Amino acid sequence: MSTWANLGLQDSASPLMEQLIFFHDHALLILVMITVLVGYLMIMLFFNNYVNRFLLHGQLIEMIWTILPAIILLFIAFPSLRLLYLLDEINEPSVTLKSIGHQWYWSYEYSDFNNIEFDSYMIPTNELTTDGFRLLDVDNRIVLPMNSQIRILVTAADVIHSWTIPALGVKVDGTPGRLNQTNFFINRPGLFYGQCSEICGANHSFMPIVIESVPINYFIKWISNNLNS
Ligand code: CUA
């Protein structure tokens, strides 16, 4: 979860988010190098005393400063494509979770397990306990097993919502009439917080997502408890 003064990305809790952070750092490094080089050249122009009165063309330099940036862009484009296809790959998921966006709450369905379903509402500030996080905690958490491939199917019932969890590198739009798919693998146990990321109406800010990542035997226990009730 993000806390005060955490302006960068959150620590990753899934392999895909780890790759996304690597790519971000890679792209930022190239960006800084270009900015420093261009900035240096622009500043040095102010202190230049030389004038070439016969300058009409410069075929060679134009070739260089056209092809060189194109090659630099390839160094961003290929890792970007690699990541794009990596994010899209579904690798034999062991659990499928359906999440449906509503104005303004999420509802979830575990259709692998006799269709366990529940709604997940934000806990209002006046009902919050002292260990709760304001605008971020929900009444019914999603429980998912760690160290397992998990498939998420996202849709919406009314307007466009977005199911987003930064630490897991997941951000999928829930669109009415469409079913979107994504997947992730949670590296460790813990609570992972997210929020809706499409401007979906007046209470857009108040439909958070909480995942409780637990060892698989706890997950099975949770499932069997819910099946009996
Ligand atoms: Cu749902 Cu914004």
- Across all residues in the chain, what is the average pLDDT? 94
Please tell me if the CB atom of residue 200 comes closer than 6 angstroms to any atom of ligand 1. yes
Please tell me if the CB atom of residue 101 comes closer than 6 angstroms to any atom of ligand 1. yes
Percent of the chain with pLDDT over 70: 100
Answer yes or no: do 81 and 34 share one domain: yes
Nearest atom in ligand 1 to the alpha carbon of residue 195 is 2
- Evaluate whether residue 7 is within a structural domain: no
Q: What are the tokens at 88?
A: 């899209």
Answer yes or no: do 194 and 84 share one domain: no
Residue range 71-75: average pLDDT?
A: 97
pTM for the structure as a whole: 0.88
What CA–CA distance (Å, rounded) separates 198 from 117?
Answer: 23
Measure 97 CA to ligand 1 centroid, in angstroms: 19
Task: List the CATH number of the domain containing 115.
Answer: 2.60.40.420
pLDDT surpassing 70 at residue 111: yes
- Write out the residue range of the structural domain in which residue 32 sits: 15-48+56-88
Answer yes or no: do 62 and 104 share one domain: no
Answer yes or no: do 158 and 194 share one domain: yes
pLDDT of residue 227: 84
Q: What are the tokens at 196?
A: 């809706």
Answer yes or no: do 156 and 209 share one domain: yes
Helix, strand, or coil (residue 129): coil
What domain count does the chain have?
Answer: 2
- Evaluate whether residue 8 is within a structural domain: no
pLDDT in tens, 148-185: 999 999 999 999 999 999 999 999 999 999 999 999 99
Answer yes or no: do 20 and 76 share one domain: yes
Answer yes or no: do 60 and 116 share one domain: no
- Evaluate whether residue 164 is within a structural domain: yes
Helix (H) or strand (E) holding 144: strand 142-145
pLDDT in tens, 81-104: 999 999 999 989 999 999 999 999
Answer yes or no: do 70 and 125 share one domain: no
- Evaluate whether residue 4 is within a structural domain: no
Percent of the chain with pLDDT over 90: 91
Please tell me if the CB atom of residue 122 comes closer than 6 angstroms to any atom of ligand 1. no
What CA–CA distance (Å, rounded) separates 194 from 196?
Answer: 7
pLDDT of residue 1: 86
